[in-house]
Amino acid sequence: MSNDDYDVVIAGGGVAGLTAGLTSARAGRKTRVLTGAALGGHLVSIERIDGYPGFPDGVPGYDLCPIIQEQAVAAGAEFAATEANALHAEDAGRGGWRVTTGEGDVHARAVVIATGTTLKTLGVPGEEQLRGKGVSHCASCDAPLLRNRIVGVVGGGDSALQEALTLAQHASRVIVLHRGTAFSAQDAYVQRVKENPKIEVRFGTIVEEAIGNGGLKSVRTRSVPDGTTETLELSGLFVYVGLAPATAWLDGVLAVDASGRIPVDGEMRSRLPGLFAVGTVRSGSAGRAAAAAGDGAIAAVGADRYLKDGRWL
Ligand SMILES: Cc1cc2nc3c(=O)[nH]c(=O)nc-3n(C[C@H](O)[C@H](O)[C@H](O)COP(=O)(O)OP(=O)(O)OC[C@H]3O[C@@H](n4cnc5c(N)ncnc54)[C@H](O)[C@@H]3O)c2cc1C
C-alpha cells in the first residue's frame, strides 16, 4: 500500500466523521479523516451539547470534539485539515475511490461521506456585508462580546432556541424573530425560553434587512399578519433558519433526495459499492449528535466487513 492508499477515507470531521475514524482505526483499518475547515463540525461552536450520553449537564463541543479526535489518533487514524473536493470511481483494475483533496489525491476502497450541513443564510440586504460584524452563526463565539446588549435570533427550531438561551446568559435582552406562528423546537427548549425573563419572542416576523456601516446597528422587520415594518436596534443578529447538506463536492456522483441528502440503507451504505454516508448529510438522519456518532460507528463496521468480503447490498 502506497502512502496515499487507504482502506478507508472519511470526508468530514464532525462527530459522525470522528466516530467513523475512531471505529475504523480500532478495527485495524488504515484510515484517513479529512476534517475540512471545522474539526468537530457544528458541535465545536456549541457551548452546551444537550442529550449526548454520559453528560447529564451537557458538554461544551470544544471539549468533546478534541477528545474524540485524540481517541481516534490513539487508535491509529490519520487526520488532515483539508477538504474533499471531488470523488471519482477508480477503473476496474484498481477499484475503489479516488478523493481529490486540498493536499492532493488519496485512494481508498471505502469512503465514508460525513460532510454534514452548513447553516442557511437569510439572503437579505446587508447580511453578507455585516457577517462577522454583528451578523453571526455562532452564539457561543460572540455572546461574551455582547454582554449587556440587545441581540436578535432568527429562527424557531432547536438551534435557534438553544442559542437564544446561550445568548441570554450574556446579553441584556434577546429577541427571537420567527416567521411562523409556533416553534418547531423540542418542548424542553420552548419551556426554557418561555420561562427566561430576558427572552422576548416575536412570531410572524420576517427580517428583511441588516443595517449598519462597519457594524450592525439595526434590522428592518416586516410583520407577516399586517405587513407593517419596524426598525429594531440590535447589536447582534444570530441566524438559525435551517441547514443545507454539504454535497456540492460530490458533483452528482451519488443521487440525493429532495432535501439534498444522500439515501442510505440501515448500514449506512449508499447505492454505490464502497460509499457510505453518515450523520446529517444522509437521508433520514435524526439530527442529533448521538445519532450522528452512531451512524459513524455503523459505517466503519460496515466498511471493515466490505473490505473483508467485498459484498455490497
Ligand atoms: C446551533 C446548533 C446547536 C445544536 N445543538 C445540539 C445539541 O445540543 N445536541 C445534539 O445532539 N445536537 C445538536 N445539534 C445538532 C448537531 O450539531 C448535529 O447533529 C451534528 O453536528 C451532526 O454531525 P455531523 O458530523 O453529521 O455533521 P457536522 O457537524 O455538520 O460536521 C460536518 C463536518 O464536515 C466537514 N466538511 C464539510 N465539507 C467538507 C468537505 N468537502 N471535505 C471535508 N470535510 C468537510 C466540516 O468541516 C465538519 O467537520 C446542534 C446543531 C446546531 C446547528
User: Could you tell me if 110 and 268 are in contact, meaning their C-beta atoms sit under 8 angstroms apart?
Assistant: no
Question: Does ligand 1 come within 6 angstroms of the Cβ of 47?
Answer: no
**Chain length of the chain:** 313
CA–centroid distance, 265 to ligand 1, in Å, is: 21
Tens of pLDDT, residues 242-261: 999 999 999 989 999 999 99
72 phi-psi bin (left φ>0, alpha ψ -120 to 50, beta other): alpha
Query: For atom 32 of ligand 1, which residue has the closest CA?
Result: 116
Tell me, using a 6 A CB cutoff, whether residue 25 lines ligand 1. no
User: Ligand 1 atom closest to Cα of 39?
Assistant: 49
Say what percent of the chain tops pLDDT 70.
100
- The pLDDT of residue 144 is 86
Cα–Cα distance measured from residue 6 to residue 9, given in angstroms and rounded to the nearest whole number: 6
pLDDT digits (tens, 9 = 90+) for 22-40: 999 999 999 999 999 999 9
Alpha carbon distance 51, 229 (integer Å): 39
What whole-number distance in Å separates Cα of residue 209 and Cα of residue 126?
6
Closest Cα to atom 50 of ligand 1: 159
Looking from the CA of residue 296, the nearest atom of ligand 1 is 25
What is the rounded CA–CA span in Å between residue 313 and residue 311?
7
Residue nearest to atom 1 of ligand 1 (CA): 159
Q: Residue 309's Cα: distance from chain center in Å?
A: 33
Residue whose Cα lies nearest atom 38 of ligand 1: it is 115
Residue 1: pLDDT band (50, 70, 90) is low
Residues 6+ away with beta carbon under 8 Å from 120: 239, 241, 242, 243, 244
Mean pLDDT of the chain: 96
Cα(302) to ligand 1 centroid in Å equals 22
Ligand 1 center from residue 163 Cα (angstroms): 15
**pLDDT one-digit tens code per residue, 108-123:** 999 999 999 999 999 9
Nearest-5° angle of CA 312, CA 16, CA 51?
130
Q: Convert the pLDDT of each residue in 200-249 to its tens digit.
A: 999 999 999 999 999 999 999 999 999 999 999 999 999 999 999 999 99
Q: Do the Cβ atoms of 29 and 131 come closer than 8 Å?
A: no
| 96 CA distance to ligand 1 middle (Å) | 27
| 310 Cα: distance to centroid of ligand 1 (angstroms) | 30
